[in-house]
Amino acid sequence: MPPAWQSGQVGSGVEAGARVRERSQNSAPRAGVACWARVRYHRDLGERPAGERVKNQLWVSALAMVVAAGLVGCEAEESAAPATPGELDVVSDVTPDVIAEPDAAEPVVDAAPWPSVPPSFKVGGLLGRFTPGMAETPTDVPLDLAPTHLHESLRLGDGEGAFSLLFDDGPFCGRIEGGIHVKETTSYTFTAVAGDSVQVRLDGIPVITAWKTQEVTTESVDLVLEKGWHPIELIFSSDPFRAILELWIAAEGELPQVVSGDNLGYTSKVPENSPSLWGDVEVGAPTPYGVGVSYTATGPARLKIDALVDGELVTVTSDELGVEGHLTVPLKPGAIAELSFALYDAWDRITTLPGDVVFAEPLPDFVPGGMLGTYYSDNQHNNYLAQRLDPGIVLPEDAGEGTNGSFGMPTQPDTFSVHWDGGIYAPTSGDYTLYWGTDDGQRVFVDGQLIAEDWTGHAPQYVSPTVYLAQGWHALRLEMFENYGGAYSHLEWAGPDFVRHVTPPDVLGAVLPEDNELPPEVITAEVFTSWQSNNNMNYGRAILWFTASELATAEVVMTTSDDAVTNHEETVYSEGFKHVFNDLPSGPVIFYIYLTDRHGVTSLTTKTVFGEVPLPPEDDD
279-359 CATH fold:
Immunoglobulin-like (2.60.40)
121-267 CATH fold:
Jelly Rolls (2.60.120)
pLDDT one-digit tens code per residue, 347-380: 999 999 999 999 998 988 999 999 999 999 999 9
Question: What letter represents residue 326's amino acid?
Answer: H
Question: Taking the CA of residue 168 as centre, how many other CA atoms within 13 Å lie in the half-sphere pointing to its CB?
Answer: 2
d(CA 553, CA 579): 13
Lowest average pLDDT, out of 164-173, 455-464, 479-488, goes to: 164-173
Q: What is the mean pLDDT of the chain?
A: 80
User: What is the b/e burial string over 510-526, where b = at least 16 CB atoms within 10 angstroms of the residue's CB?
Assistant: bebeeeeeebbbbeebe
Residue 504, Cβ neighbours under 10 Å: how many? 12
Q: Of residues 118 and 438, which shows the higher confidence score? A: 438
Q: CATH number for the 522-613 domain, one of 1.10.260.40, 2.60.40.10, 3.10.450.50, 3.20.20.450?
A: 2.60.40.10
Lowest average pLDDT, out of 329-343, 361-375, 387-401, goes to: 387-401
Q: CATH number for the 367-510 domain, one of 3.40.50.11540, 3.30.565.10, 2.60.120.1560, 3.40.50.300?
A: 2.60.120.1560
- What is the tally of helices (H) and strands (E) in the chain? 3, 41
Q: Given a cut of 50, is residue 279 above it in pLDDT?
A: yes
Q: Given a cut of 80, is residue 48 above it in pLDDT?
A: no
Which residues partner with 96 through β-bridges?
A: none
Residue 403, Cβ neighbours under 10 Å: how many? 15
pLDDT band at 396 (very low <50, low <70, confident <90, very high): confident
Mean pLDDT across 333-356: 95
Task: Give Rg (Cα) of the chain.
Answer: 36
What integer pLDDT is reported at residue 35 of this predicted model?
29
Q: Given a cut of 70, is residue 54 above it in pLDDT?
A: no
With beta carbons less than 8 A apart as the criterion, state whether 358 and 505 touch. no
pLDDT one-digit tens code per residue, 178-235: 999 999 999 999 999 998 899 999 999 999 999 988 888 999 999 999 999 999 999 9
Mean pLDDT across 586-601: 93
With beta carbons less than 8 A apart as the criterion, state whether 117 and 24 touch. no
Helix, strand, or coil here: 272?
A: coil
Which residues partner with 296 through β-bridges?
A: 280, 324
Mean pLDDT across 30-48: 32
Give the distance, in angstroms, between the CA of residue 293 and the centroid of all CA atoms in the same chain: 19
The domains spanning 279-359 and 367-510 adopt the same CATH topology: no
Which residues partner with 260 through β-bridges?
A: 153
Question: What letter represents residue 397's amino acid?
Answer: E
pLDDT band at 456 (very low <50, low <70, confident <90, very high): very high
What integer pLDDT is reported at residue 39 of this predicted model?
33
With beta carbons less than 8 A apart as the criterion, state whether 439 and 487 touch. yes
Q: Given a cut of 50, is residue 451 above it in pLDDT?
A: yes
Q: Where are the beta strands (DSSP E) in 427-536?
A: 430-439, 442-446, 449-454, 461-463, 466-469, 472-482, 488-495, 498-502, 508-510, 522-534
Helix, strand, or coil here: 16?
A: helix
Threshold 0.75, pTM exceeds: no
d(CA 448, CA 291): 10
Q: Given a cut of 70, is residue 109 above it in pLDDT?
A: no
DSSP characters over 109-170: TT-PPPPSS-TTEEES-EEEEEEES--SSGGGS-S-PPP-EEESBSEEBTTBHHHHTTTTT-
With beta carbons less than 8 A apart as the criterion, state whether 345 and 388 touch. no
DSSP state of 51: T
pLDDT band at 551 (very low <50, low <70, confident <90, very high): very high
d(CA 246, CA 217): 10
pLDDT one-digit tens code per residue, 523-541: 999 999 999 887 777 889 9
> Which positions ≥6 away from 616 have C-beta within 8 Å?
531, 533, 538, 586
Residue 302's nearest CA partner among 149, 437, 435, 175 is 149
Residue 594, Cβ neighbours under 10 Å: how many? 18
With beta carbons less than 8 A apart as the criterion, state whether 290 and 330 touch. yes
| 3-state SS string for 146-163 | CCCEEECECEEECCEHHH
Residue 43, Cβ neighbours under 10 Å: how many? 15
d(CA 413, CA 404): 6
Bridge-based pairing state of the strands 537-559 and 522-534: antiparallel
> Which positions ≥6 away from 517 have C-beta within 8 Å?
none
d(CA 131, CA 504): 52
Q: How far is CA 306 from CA 76, 295, 346, 348, 356, in A?
A: 72, 15, 20, 18, 11
d(CA 347, CA 294): 22
Domain ranges of the chain: 3-91, 121-267, 279-359, 367-510, 522-613
Helix, strand, or coil here: 351?
A: strand
Q: Of residues 358 and 118, which shows the higher confidence score? A: 358
DSSP state of 398: G
